[in-house]
Amino acid sequence: MTVQSPRSQAADSFSSEDFAQALDAQNLDFRPGQVVRGRIFQHQNDGALVDIGGKSPAFLPLREAGIRPVEDLSELFPLKTEAEFLIVREDRDGQMLLSVRRLQLKLIWEELAQKQANGQTVTVPVIGTNKGGVLVDVQGLRGFIPRSHLNQREDLKELVGQSLTAGFIEVNAEANKLVLSQRVAAQAENLGRYEIGQVVEGKVSGLKPFGVFVDLEGVTGLLHIKQVSQSFVASLPDLFKPGQLIKAVVIDLDEAKGRMALSTRVLEKHPGEVLEQLAVVMDEAEERASKLKGKITTDGKVI
């Protein structure tokens, strides 16, 4: 009688069916939307087989190999190349379909959203035009710059082939919408010349019920009605006229949105002084502001 060792008995108890079930269980770890690392091990006419650690190889279609069209997959992904892939879905035969293109798109949209949040700009080539503006290539994505946000608004065809520096108006991956602006880029760049607490002088460029727009040579600041005086302001047109030179203190800078907030109320020695003696407040603006360094909050209060 032959006595089997515990190791042999364990091996016999683990059948081929058990092995198949174990592999199936391993495959359950893979799901659409998951990022996996794999190795290219065979090229085909319409794609490549990729080892991602499952019981069967996954497949990378040629059309999913990159954002830009790929003609020769072997040049982009030679055999034994290791890379990250996005699982798109599982086909009827249980094979996982992969994509590099969608993973790159996901990462690029995230990067551009971060650039927008940080107020950063990009330099992009113009690839076409339409009635509303120009089309640009943003890292393989198609972006749009409206005519109203271009420095050159006539003869748009002359811009094709040129590179423009632009900021972001809208970055929307779900809607596949990417809108940029040369004006936003210029505004953000110009804002870098200013700092909180600085006295600026500019011309009144517009009056709205909520405040006064001030032109500062390339930057537009907003003097909100609540920042005009510590007292209630009944009528802005009674105080300001278009083209009038005024001085104000910078209380907030938002380079991401290209905005500057201004205040004259922080210059008052008592509530209502701007309403009563605007000329005096303007004449003494620099002297008064020098005493407020580091004491101004973004809501225009002095601490």
Is there a domain that residue 106 lies in? no
Q: Give percent of the chain with pLDDT exceeding 90.
A: 61
Is there a domain that residue 167 lies in? yes
Within 10 angstroms of residue 218's Cβ, the number of other Cβ atoms is 11
Number of domains the chain contains: 3
- Picking from 158, 187, 216, the residue at the C-terminal end of a domain is 187
Rounded Cα distance between 208 and 222, Å, is 10
Q: Report the relative pairing of strands 82-90 and 35-44 from DSSP bridges.
A: antiparallel
Q: What is the pLDDT of residue 191?
A: 81
Full residue range of the structural domain in which residue 161 is found: 119-187
Q: What is the pLDDT of residue 79?
A: 93
* Tokens 């080539």, located at residue: 125
Does residue 65 share a domain with residue 131? no
Rounded Cα distance between 168 and 172, Å, is 11
Closest to 164 in 3D by CA, of 193, 133, 208: 133
- Close Cβ partners of 49 (under 8 Å, ≥ 6 residues apart): 40, 41, 42, 57, 58, 59, 60
Cβ contact 39:82 at 8 Å: yes
Q: What is the pLDDT of residue 186?
A: 79
3-state secondary structure (DSSP) of residue 131: coil
Q: Is 291 exposed, middle or buried (0-12, 13-18, 19+ CB in 10 A)?
A: exposed
- Picking from 187, 202, 237, the residue at the C-terminal end of a domain is 187
More confident residue, 209 or 93: 209
Rounded Cα distance between 273 and 265, Å, is 9
**Token digits for 63?**
């059309």
Does residue 202 share a domain with residue 182? no
Mean pLDDT of the chain: 86
- Statement: residue 30 has pLDDT above 50: yes
CATH number of the domain to which 76 belongs:
2.40.50.140
* Tokens 């198949």, located at residue: 20
**Token digits for 45?**
């006419």
- Picking from 159, 187, 215, the residue at the C-terminal end of a domain is 187
Does residue 284 share a domain with residue 220? yes
Is there a domain that residue 24 lies in? yes
Average pLDDT over residues 19-33: 61
Does residue 272 share a domain with residue 217? yes
Does residue 147 share a domain with residue 94? no
Helix intervals (H) in the chain: 6-13, 16-27, 73-76, 101-118, 182-191, 273-276, 278-283, 285-290
Q: Give tens-digit pLDDT for 285-294.
A: 999 998 887 6
Average pLDDT over residues 76-105: 90
- Give the pLDDT band (50/70/90) at residue 298: low
Rounded Cα distance between 271 and 230, Å, is 5
Within 10 angstroms of residue 122's Cβ, the number of other Cβ atoms is 20
